[in-house]
Amino acid sequence: MPIEVDTEDKLEYRFYPVTNRLVNFKIRAPNDAHLALTTGPAESDPMIEVFIGGWKNTKSVIRKNRTKPDVVEADTPDVLNAGEFRGFWIRWTMDEVDTEDKLEYRFYPVTNRLVNFKIRAPNDAHLALTTGPAESDPMIEVFIGGWKNTKSVIRKNRTKPDVVEADTPDVLNAGEFRGFWIRWTMDGIITVGREGEAAAFLSWQDPDNCPFNYVGVCTGWGASGSWIIEGGPEMKTPDNLKYNFVPALEHGSATVEFRGPSNCHIGLMSMNNEKLPLTEIILGGWNNTASVIRVNRETPDRVRVDTPNIVSSAHFTTFFIEWRNGYLSVRQGGPRGALIIEAQESVRFPVRFLAVRTGWGATGKWRIHFDAPTTGKIPPQIGSFPPRRDTPGGLVSSGGSACWVPASGGQVPDGAVPGGHDGEQLYVARARYGGGLIPGKLVPSHGVCYVPWGGGENSVTEYEVLCGGGSWVPGTGDAIPPNALPAGETEEGEPLFIGRANHEGTITVGKVQPSHGCVYIPYGGEELRYDQYEIFVQ
């Protein structure tokens, strides 16, 4: 939720937590808008400062650790204005990390505050978010289909009045499973919605912003129920209003690039230390001859495979790591690459940190990227990327008659939806970029999908192509038709839709972002905005 902050003319920073590596902000000032990136809420090194409109509103710079000379500068005459807000964004990545030869982990948070679940019950499906596997404050409860299956509410710390409620007549059914999702963000926003729907039917911001690690489920008030959480086994709850708890973060994925002679060590942990439980992946151990999965430092290792020369000090090697419902896998190159090693029942705890280290004579350089889960349904019904394991032929359902088909290198699957033209036929596609899943255009002759993000036109070689039926209707601003096809989400979880616009004699496909009231299209290396557009519907 945006906030407005006033700062005085005294060069003192005010600090706010950030939840991802992209911050959008607006500033109204005559000159010298200063922004700092720090590891804590104080001015201490390491620290990166960005001065916008300094030197009487003539230039902007980046400065490290409050030390001159500035690391980079640019002329930006009149970039600020005392009479109006002007918008900017800042983005930073974890492109490269160095580790020493001393077997000490460096920790990075991994968070996936999203749970998909199905419930079969006549009424009163209750779900709780807690910090531990018990009913204790802080605690957020969501009652779906309460009051004889007529309304749903969010309640905090088991205290009335409820913080928000909505009429949801017949939202549950005793004869069939119905799907829902719940998401919570690092700024305390809690949303609940139906499977396949972009909009939440319950939404509330918790001012206390608690770090929830567990989800509990129960039924009561005359109802027993059956639950399926994150595609796991069916779990039954009796009519007793007692919560059954499961870890909330047992799924996720990361892409790790490593350059080093051997001993690429990766740890999955629930805390930013080496306390149990933890799961370790050692790639290229034993002088770059073997790889293992090790659980809780126990021997023998859970799994060991021969992997001669799997890593190299001459170049980066890419590994895709995924954990879901206890299953852990490592693939080379990407989510559809060759399987290197896998183990069942090896990650049975909420993963909140990924840690890396080197040792046994090796140092390393790392690039780490966190991804959304590659299986299960992600609201708003945006399927999975790459294909779900349980879907024949790699098709990813998107509801209705459309589906998303994984492809790469300019491939155009049968039944691909035409989206526009620019000297050749363009197709509707989407790809993961910048932490989100972004709709864009497939240009077959270029061998890539282009997506609009961060002000630029970004090319991605692995993508999904929309296949099936649908049509284009006029769109404007933030008016999203009810039958518009949800096609992705921003890194902050906002639903994105498929749009297109006429630009310089082309029809170019891009993303409709409701909160911005426009379509963004990728063209000529830039991300271009149009307030009038066409939107894809089913």
Give the position of tokens 């409709």.
512
Torsions phi, psi for 346 (to 5 deg): -115, -10
Hey, what CATH topology would domain 114-247 get?
Jelly Rolls (2.60.120)
290 contact partners, CB below 8 Å, separation of at least 6:
304, 305, 306, 307
Q: What percent of the chain has pLDDT over 70?
A: 83
Q: What's the DSSP call for residue 417?
A: P
Maximum Cα–Cα distance for the chain, whole Å? 71
Scored b (16 or more CB within 10 A) or e, 167-206 reads ebeebbeeeebbbbbbbbbeeebbbbbbbbbbebbbebeb
Three-state SS at 482: coil
Q: What span, in angstroms and rounded, lies between the C-alpha atoms of 321 and 252?
A: 8
Euclidean distance between CA atoms 410 and 147, whole angstroms: 53
- pLDDT of residue 119 exceeding 80, the answer is yes
pLDDT value for 229: 75
User: What is the overall mean pLDDT for the chain?
Assistant: 82
153 or 337, which is more confident: 153
Residue 464: CB partners within 8 Å, gap ≥ 6?
383, 385, 386, 396, 404, 405, 406, 407, 429, 430, 431
Model pLDDT, residue 391: 29
Token pair of 67, please?
């030390």
- Domain definitions of the chain by residue range: 22-92, 106-111+252-371, 114-247, 392-537
Question: If you average pLDDT over residues 471-500, what whole number do you get?
Answer: 88
Task: Map 281-313 to HEC letters.
Answer: EEEEHHHHCEEEEEECCCCCCCEEEECCCCCCC
Q: How many CB atoms are closer than 10 A to CB 144? A: 27
Hey, what's the torsion of the CAs at 244, 247, 248, 250, to 10 degrees? -140
Rounded Cα distance, 41 and 359, in Å:
33
Asked whether the beta carbons of 190 and 206 are under 8 A apart, the reply is yes
CA–CA gap between residue 347 and residue 121 (Å, rounded): 30
3-class secondary structure, 444 = helix
Backbone angles phi, psi at 348, to 5 degrees: -110, 55
Q: What is the pLDDT of residue 74?
A: 92
Same fold, 106-111+252-371 and 114-247: yes
Q: What is the CATH number of domain 106-111+252-371?
A: 2.60.120.200
Per-residue confidence (pLDDT) for residue 387, from 0 to 100: 31
Tokens of 222: 């005359």
495-509 burial string, b = 16+ CB within 10 Å, else e? bbbbbbbebeebbbb
What is the per-residue pLDDT across 179-211, written as a single tens digit (0 to 9) for each?
Answer: 998 888 766 889 999 886 767 899 998 888 777
Q: What pLDDT is attached to residue 340?
A: 95
pLDDT greater than 70 at residue 2: no
Q: Does the pLDDT of residue 94 top 80, yes or no?
A: no
CA neighbor of 351 nearest in space, from 264, 296, 278, 436: 278
